Structures are given as C-alpha cells and as structure tokens.
Structure 1
Amino acid sequence: MVSSLGVSRGLVVVVCAPSGAGKTSICKKLVSECADVVFSISATTRSPRGVEKHGQEYFFMSKEEFSRASSAGEFLEQSFVFGNFYGTPKASVERYIECGMDVVLDVDCDGARQISSAYPSDSVTIYIFPPSIEELANRLVSRNENSADEIERRLKDAELCVANLSLFDYIVVNDNLQKAYEDVKSIIRAEKLKTSRRELSSY
C-alpha cells in the first residue's frame, strides 16, 4: 500500500497594512510569480482613481448596489473606511479555494478578524508594517495621491492598528520590498506544509 499526501483546499491569505506600507506591491508580485495564487478583487463604493478599471483593481458599485449585495449575504467581509464601503465577494473566494488555489485578500484589521472567524482552518493573517510611522508618512507624502487631511487620517489609522497586531498570525516589516515579499512567500509555503492542511490517501 502506498500513501500520498495532497492538499484538498486552497489557503485564504489575508494581507493587511496601512496605506504606503507596500502591501499592494507585495500582493501583485505574489500573483504574478506564483501560478497557484490569485488575488481577490474587492467591491467598493469609492470612485476609481487614475487608470483604475472596474473588475481589475475593484468592482466599483453605487451605495445602493453595495447595500443590496450586502443584504443578500454576498460579502465574506465588509467595512466602512474613509467614507466608503468595501467588501470581499464570497462566491469567488469559495470557488478558488475549492479548486486548491490560494487567494490573497487585501483587507483592513476588522476584515481580517471577520475572515479568520469565517475560515478558522483555511486562513492565515499577515500584517505588513513599514520600519516606522515616520517612514510611512514620508511614503504617503511622496506618493502625492492624498490630501494632508487624508494622510493624517491614514497615519492615525495605522497607529490604531498597532493595538490590534495580536490579531495576526505573522508580522512582516517592509524595510526592503524584495525581502518582505520573500518573507510573505515563505509564510504561505510553510502554512501549506502544515500537517493539518494535508490529506493522507492510500492506494
């Protein structure tokens, strides 16, 4: 009799970080370089920025559309951030992990809590943090995408998230983008190798 080890379901990879910490760059690199990793596109009521397109960066919805979808239970998690609603479509995440694909989710701290509760055995939560709040402020200013008031709000939000770090399984400090990316990739690889995520079959 020969035994084989397999992974029946994909992993829900929850990545959370303050704006400017490098989360988007790390997630894009994961998806582009790892054939079994996909990115979950969130729905939002905010307006597109720059060259953002519906169905690529986000599913852009009116508040009425978002409310209808929420009432129908179509979101895995949802939040209200800086005056806009955000939500993770449940159906696509379920479809991917059932096929054995790992799904990367970009959410806030409350979203991470909701997903951990929904997928206690199939999720891993990672918080990306810059070397310091001062460095985060420098990154936000250099991006030249937000007003001074919005930058201030984002910095206060980042400080509040520090109080919730115990919620996360791992913390990655991004003082070097490539190293931070490799750290995140190593976390996913290690989580996939856990005995609890393996199925033993005999034939």
Structure 2
Amino acid sequence: MLVLSSPSGAGKTTISRRLLERDANLQMSVSVTTRPMRPGEVEGVDYYFIDAAAFRRKVDERALLEYATVFGHGYGTPRGPVEQALGAGRDVLFDIDWQGTQQLAESARQDLVSVFVLPPSTRELERRLKARAQDSDAEVARRMAKAADEMSHWAEYDYIIVNHDIEDSVRRVEAILIAERLKRERQIGLHEFVRALREGQ
C-alpha cells in the first residue's frame, strides 16, 4: 500500500495520475466521499459519491479501511477492493490525508509505504490552488489555513518529497516504489528460489 499525502495543491493528485499511467502493477484506491462532485470528476474514477447516511453505515459495518472528516465532508477507503488487489499481487496507491495514513499504519504497518509531498513554498502552494480555478477565494484561504496543520505531520511519513518539478517528483516516487518492491520480505518465492540456486538448479 503506497500512500501519497500533501496539503491541497502540492501536487499529489497529479503525481498519482502519472504513476498510474506508467506502472501497470499499480492500482488506485478509489475513496468514497460525501462531498459534491466537482466539474470534470467521474463517479468510480475520482471518488464514489455517497450521502452521509450511507457513509455512516460503511463506518458502522467496518467496510472502510480508514476514514476521516475533511472540510466538513466524510472521506474513506473501501476495504474490499484494496484487499482484493493486494491478494492478486498488485500494489495499491492511496491519495489520502495524514488522518487516514495514521489509521492504515495502525492496521497494516508492515505493508504500508508513506510519502508526504511538500510544496516548494507557501506562496507557490497558494499560486497552484488559485491556478486550479476550482475553488472560491474563501475556499483557497481555508485550504491555505489548513495546510500548515497538514504539513506539521510530515515526520510521520517514511519519505518526504519537495515538489519543485512534477516530472522529477514522479521519478522520485517511482524510485521509492522500486526500492520497496525489492525489499527481501516483499519478494514472494525468494526463499525457494535461493534454495534451488544453492542446490545447483
């Protein structure tokens, strides 16, 4: 499970999309949310959009691996698709915040790799938020106010990337993914392979 977190506008969603385009063994975990759909978003691709009552039911039924309330809306990761993908030998990419990452770490620390994406400066973060043209000035101000709190959790993550350049940041996350896949404990069948080598096969 590869987690990417960042304050809004730092680039994690763009990095996620490029990773998915370039890595056939990586699958996106699609979250559920109670927030309204934004222009250009697609049901089942960006999020599954549900109402607050359905969200509460999923929490009560323990159908979410993690969940949090962000900007007044519920967000959560459906358990079933993630467990199915991992069981089939695929890696799963999560675009979630620090609250969700903490919950995943509590339940599956050994199988979790976490990356926090920082903006190069506060001014650049604000510029990127305004350039998206998705939010009102008031919403941008609210996201900027929340960014300081989000960034205070950087030390809880395995890796930190400062996103000066999107392509360079993507390459860095790819390098992390390669290194983590090569860890001894993640290489399935390695014990049998080495034993066969030692026996001269």
Does the alignment reach a TM-score above 0.5? Answer: yes
Matched residue of 1:156: which SS? Answer: helix
* 8 Å contact from structure 2 (residues 67, 74) kept in 1: yes
Measured against aligned partners, the alpha-carbon deviations of 1:70-100 in whole angstroms (never above 9, x if no partner) come to 1110000000011100000011111111111
Matched residue of 2:35: which SS? Answer: coil
Q: Does 1:45 align with 2:34?
A: yes
* 8 Å contact from structure 2 (residues 20, 28) kept in 1: yes
Q: Does 1:120 align with 2:109?
A: yes
2:68 maps to amino acid: S
Structure 2 counterpart of 1:172: 161
TM-score after normalising by structure 1: 0.91
Residue range with higher mean Cα deviation, 169-178 or 149-158:
149-158
* 8 Å contact from structure 2 (residues 6, 151) kept in 1: no
Distance 1:195 1:53 in 2: 38
| Alignment partner of 1:82 out of 71, 85, 105 | 71
| Alignment partner of 2:142 out of 133, 149, 153 | 153
Distance 1:54 1:149 in 2: 26
User: What stretches of structure 2 of length at least 5 have no aligned partner?
Assistant: 197-201
- Give the Å deviation of 1:31: 0.8
User: Which structure has the highest helix share of the two?
Assistant: 2
Distance 1:188 1:21 in 2: 20
Matched residue of 2:45: which SS? Answer: coil
Structure 2 counterpart of 1:96: 85
* 8 Å contact from structure 2 (residues 37, 49) kept in 1: yes
Distance 1:112 1:156 in 2: 21
Matched residue of 1:128: which SS? Answer: strand
> Which structure is higher in RCO with an 8 Å CA cutoff and minimum separation 6?
1
Matched residue of 2:149: which SS? Answer: helix
- Give the Å deviation of 1:32: 1.1
Matched residue of 1:120: which SS? Answer: helix
For this pair of structures, how many residues does the alignment match?
192
- Report the RMSD for the aligned CA atoms in angstroms: 1.1
Matched residue of 1:54: which SS? Answer: coil
For 1:175-194, list aligned pairs within 5 A: 175-194=164-183
- Give the Å deviation of 1:56: 1.4
| Alignment partner of 1:17 out of 6, 21, 26 | 6
Distance 1:94 1:143 in 2: 33
For 1:53-68, list aligned pairs within 5 A: 53-68=42-57
User: What stretches of structure 1 of length at least 5 have no aligned partner?
Assistant: 1-11
User: Which structure has the highest strand share of the two?
Assistant: 1
Distance 1:164 1:37 in 2: 25
Matched residue of 2:110: which SS? Answer: coil
Distance 1:54 1:141 in 2: 25
Structure 2 counterpart of 1:3: none
- Give the Å deviation of 1:130: 1.1
Q: Percent same amino acid at aligned positions? A: 35
Distance 2:152 2:47 in 1: 28
